[in-house]
Structure 1
């Protein structure tokens, strides 16, 4: 143990600062760990975790190329179309471009490998409450959080040769329920969504 300390203190100050900064980055804050359970998850494997048969039915114009039991939206009768000013072939298939995860642990991004984020402010941490007497009955409640991602898989994997009309981009977080004031407040939600 003494030799380890001697080696650390022999390092130049720049290296010592880098080692300290790395140790601060690796350590996780206590508040991000609050709540039930651990934040676990895994990255989506585009080969094994995607329902590739869900892309079908495949059609070109009104012609069915690869039928399926899944519904097929109405396609144009002519296979030739314009995407902007560029002519192309009208193909119909289901494109996986969105990804969602659900977690009981606030700020836990399951689809990003179980990544925990500490936002630096106290929001979204209402997770589970024990029994509470409301009207003489014990009730339990739990709060789930949803994260919605952009995930244009076919564009990334370059499965279709022409990308002009495919949704392009990179993985992005589109919605985080922890910062939505309407997510866990029924009264506020009733103002915007009274049907809910």
Structure 2
């Protein structure tokens, strides 16, 4: 039933009046984030950060149903998804469209706690789109391992009860009980420092660097800063969909075009570029402090979208065996 609701919403958005303010794949996407690219063990177009991804050898030989593919190992950052983090249910910044909330006032994004509280909480809904950026602009059409699905709304948390209930979310992340304590959260300081200068520490899967904890896999975050909360909830959705088997990591095995199932997110294989309400010019590793990149990204007036309604262009690390297929006899 929930898949049917997502499909209905997607159709409604297609035919909604959302002309002005929609995402422009040419001007609103940071195309230099594809770098660095590694081909046959040689890196080029260095973006100032070391390449991520699991590239073990410059050459590759992959066996599949169509035969054996022999070639060179290639790795790059693929623009593959859009993720929205919104305080207004059923608002879609990518399309500049908003649908009526069937239950007004329910599951609305908010912040809780008085100004004197040491800890404040925020709640945001999140939407996931398939975004085949290179196909949309006609780039790398002969690359064998790019996203081939059409642009589509893939997931929305308004129809997912687990996203708004921390206790219910324990069904898919029971290990959160083991990591929700001050001792394990202190280790997130190291993750925050690592993300600030390069990439986050992947073994610390319970940390989102300076954005807080990976758990629970819900829209509730222990921060009142909407920009940081939006980045955290977008990252949690990647973690959540990977845990549910809906998203596969393409930065691990060059012989698997679909990717590898990862119940625990490999953080260094993903980056976020803010596109609404202000278009950013860099792709941020998960957990990098908003003090470095978040200034002016949520203006009270101006920008291309409404305040506290965020759109992220997500790059995922892609490793691929590019070469020729040798047909099996």
TM bin, normalised by shorter chain, reads: 0.5 to 0.7
Q: 2:193 matched to which residue of 1?
A: none
Q: 2:136 matched to which residue of 1?
A: 156
Alpha-carbon distance between aligned partners in 2 of 1:88 and 1:130, rounded to the nearest angstrom: 52
1:51-130 pair list within 5 angstroms: 51-72=30-51, 73-79=53-59, 81-82=61-62, 84=64, 85=67, 86-113=69-96, 115-118=97-100, 121-122=102-103, 125-127=106-108
Alpha-carbon distance between aligned partners in 2 of 1:131 and 1:74, rounded to the nearest angstrom: 41
Alpha-carbon distance between aligned partners in 2 of 1:157 and 1:186, rounded to the nearest angstrom: 40
Q: 1:180 matched to which residue of 2?
A: 160
Give 1:97 shift: 0.1
Name the structure, 1 or 2, with higher relative contact order (CA <8 Å, separation 6+): 2
Give 1:64 shift: 1.6
- Per the normalisation by structure 2, the TM-score is 0.40
The CA RMSD measured in Å over matched residues stands at 3.5
SS of the aligned residue for 1:190 comes to helix
Show structure 1 runs of 5+ residues with no match.
Answer: 1-24, 28-40
The answer on whether the counterparts of 1:96 and 1:153 sit within 8 Å (CA) in structure 2 is yes
Query: CA, structure 1 residues 142+130, in 2 after alignment: closer, same or farther (shift >3 Å)?
Result: closer
Give 1:172 shift: 1.2
The answer on whether the counterparts of 2:109 and 2:125 sit within 8 Å (CA) in structure 1 is no
Query: CA, structure 1 residues 124+80, in 2 after alignment: closer, same or farther (shift >3 Å)?
Result: farther
Alpha-carbon distance between aligned partners in 2 of 1:187 and 1:180, rounded to the nearest angstrom: 13
Give 1:80 shift: 5.5
Q: Which has the larger radius of gyration?
A: 1
Alpha-carbon distance between aligned partners in 2 of 1:129 and 1:167, rounded to the nearest angstrom: 35
The answer on whether the counterparts of 1:152 and 1:169 sit within 8 Å (CA) in structure 2 is yes
Show structure 2 runs of 5+ residues with no match.
Answer: 1-14, 177-215, 217-329
SS of the aligned residue for 2:146 comes to coil
Alpha-carbon distance between aligned partners in 1 of 2:131 and 2:108, rounded to the nearest angstrom: 28
Q: 2:321 matched to which residue of 1?
A: none
